[in-house]
Structure 1
Amino acid sequence: MAAGRALRVGRAPRLCRSLTGRGCQRAPERGAECRDAAPSRVSRFCPPRKSCHDWIGPPDKYSNLRPIHFYVPEDESPSEQKLRELRQETQEWNQQFWAKQNLTFRKEKEEFIHSRLEAKGLGPRAESGQKATLNAEEMADFYKEFLSKNFQKHMYYNRDWYKRNFAITFFMGRVALERVWNKLRLKQKKTHS
């Protein structure tokens, strides 16, 4: 799939649609949100203004994660808003962590390669002009060292990730129950009228 294209989220079976939201409504702030975004945005991708679904954009060049543009319905309930905000916050947290982690990885990898080539008396380019590289066994030393050095950081990341996902799952269940409850109340009102 081309990097500039996006996948549309929301093509779910009928039962899932009944639990995940009301009919398609236009979110007036979506177009303004994309136009007025700060240049430090993760992605410049912007879904169509009339979209009534969440959209997944192309991978971010620093974190390698696909940013999600969340649909904001006009009649969003407080629980739905809390769920969306929690998902947005988790996405931003993930983006920041992996962008920083990938930058550190690349920097340390280049330093490792440079130091090993220098120890062998080689320059950054081979005689043929191609970039000099190390073999798989030498790179395995780097990967092992990097993972060992960052073990604690990854352990804390995983712990926080599970906490966040548990909270998101809890609010998803709460929103689904509220929607079912609201539908049942509407049906009762119609039958008693």
Structure 2
Amino acid sequence: MAALRLRNKPLYPLLCRALSGCGPQLAPERGAERRDAAPSRVSRFGPPGTSCHDWIGPPDKYSNLRPVHFYIPEDESPSERKLRELRQETQEWNQRFWAKQNRTFHQEKEAFIHTRLTAKGLGLSAESGRKATLNAEEMADFYKEFLSKNFKKHMRYNRDWYRRNFAITFFMGKVALERMWRRLRRKQDITRA
């Protein structure tokens, strides 16, 4: 109810713009670039130079996360800069963690499958020429073992993830209030003049 009444107030558009900023935009898929991407780089994708928005790129080959290219406004305040840098640092940290974790997962999964197939006396290829696989129950053993082995690592990741997100949320609120305050002061200056 209160939200419906707030829409009639002149502050509603200001509050929406302050909280949303310029807003991110999804980038088109770039398959050729993803195949050629070097392991040390996330992607060669880049938004056009005239963009005034954050852009979300295609999924990274190693982490499966979509990198964000942050827009840097010319009149960026210290709080906005701190927020952007914190978001960039968190994104890079997240990309590194999941790239390493996914690489480890795939290596251990392949080793597990190879070990189990060898124990059964089977090769990596089935008689039909397709890649031999294990059934869901056998793979469940691997998933359980992998999660148990990495439990502490995932707990540390979750703790750090929440800590970083609370800091980002705090700065987003601070930036939103500063933007709203700036707009109100400009409006007051215009009405006085």
Same topology, TM > 0.5 = yes
Q: Which runs of 5+ in 2 are unaligned?
A: 1-11, 23-37
TM-score computed with the length of structure 1 as normaliser: 0.81
User: Which amino acid in structure 1 is aligned with residue 177 of structure 2?
Assistant: L
- Cα distance in structure 2, aligned partners of 1:90 and 1:19: 20
Superposed CA RMSD in Å reads 1.8
- Cα distance in structure 2, aligned partners of 1:159 and 1:179: 30
- Cα distance in structure 1, aligned partners of 2:133 and 2:21: 52
Deviation for aligned residue 1:19: 4.1
* Structure-2 change in CA distance of 1:169 and 1:129 (3 Å): same
Deviation for aligned residue 1:128: 1.3
Alignment partner, residue 188 of structure 2:
188
- Cα distance in structure 2, aligned partners of 1:16 and 1:192: 25
Deviation for aligned residue 1:17: 2.3
- Cα distance in structure 2, aligned partners of 1:19 and 1:138: 48
For residues 144-191 of structure 1, give each alpha carbon's deviation from its aligned partner in whole angstroms, at most 9, with x where no partner exists: 000000000000000000000000000000000001111121122223
Alignment partner, residue 105 of structure 1:
105
* Structure-2 change in CA distance of 1:115 and 1:21 (3 Å): closer
Alignment partner, residue 126 of structure 1:
126
Q: Give the length in aligned residue pairs.
A: 166
- Cα distance in structure 2, aligned partners of 1:109 and 1:21: 42
Deviation for aligned residue 1:20: 4.1
Alignment partner, residue 152 of structure 2:
152
Are residues 1:65 and 2:65 paired?
Answer: yes
Alignment partner, residue 43 of structure 1:
43
Alignment partner, residue 55 of structure 1:
55
SS in 2 for 1:75: coil
Alignment partner, residue 116 of structure 2:
116
SS in 2 for 1:55: strand
User: Which amino acid in structure 2 is aligned with residue 128 of structure 1?
Assistant: S
* Structure-2 change in CA distance of 1:18 and 1:169 (3 Å): closer
Q: Percent identity among equivalent residues?
A: 79
TM-score computed with the length of structure 2 as normaliser: 0.81
- Cα distance in structure 1, aligned partners of 2:187 and 2:43: 43
Q: Which runs of 5+ in 1 are unaligned?
A: 1-12, 23-38
* Structure-2 change in CA distance of 1:139 and 1:19 (3 Å): closer
SS in 1 for 2:157: helix
Alignment partner, residue 93 of structure 2:
93
